[in-house]
Structure 1
Amino acid sequence: MTKKIKLMADYNYYPLWDMEDPDNIDPNELPLTQETKKRLLQWSKTYDQILSLDDPSSSDFANEIEAKVFESEGIQLWKQLQQELKPEYEVFYFSEERGKLLSPILLYSSIRIN
């Protein structure tokens, strides 16, 4: 049976989540390259940096360009995860730009992937 995981940034958490048991996934439990683990950690740290502790609801990227770069890196990470984890895992992606969870089929059909 294929396991479902979600790539989603959340403040102060690693960005991989188990979809059946909503909990963080330890990247060392997955067959990921060190490069991918480093990219995931950096992507997560980028998201952590936008957190406004004084007013968390106002947390956001400084401008649209930063938000687009973050979204683009998320999609690239999603593609990398698909490659490294197939066929044992199906990887979903929570798009900050769209504000919703996207399935692999929806991602491939609705987001231009370079």
Structure 2
Amino acid sequence: MVHHEVLDRAFAALADPTRRDVLTRLGDGPATISQLADPAGITVTGMKKHVQVLEAAGLVVTEKIGRARQCRLGTERLDDAMAWITFYQRLWERRLDGLEAYFTLTKGTEK
């Protein structure tokens, strides 16, 4: 099963729309923190904090290149989060299928 600490970091990172936008932008290729901060309308310091949260979750990797910090998508591809979501999706589907079967069966026995 999935480690809760990994899930907590991933979901916390994804909870903020700015961080989701960063991941979307990095899907197009690497960018510096300044390049990420400008369209978001926040300071470089503010963006650096967002990037640190994403980096702690393994969703972003940074590398110092000259005076800039280059960001790119990390190797963690939300596999753990997807496994957790899929597990509960299947669980709920089974429960709903059972509920549907119950109502179908009881509907047929009504007079």
Q: Same fold (TM over 0.5)?
A: no
Query: Which has the greater radius of gyration?
Result: 2
Higher helix share: 2
TM range (shorter): under 0.3
Provide the TM-score with structure 2 as the length reference. Answer: 0.27
TM-score (norm 1): 0.27
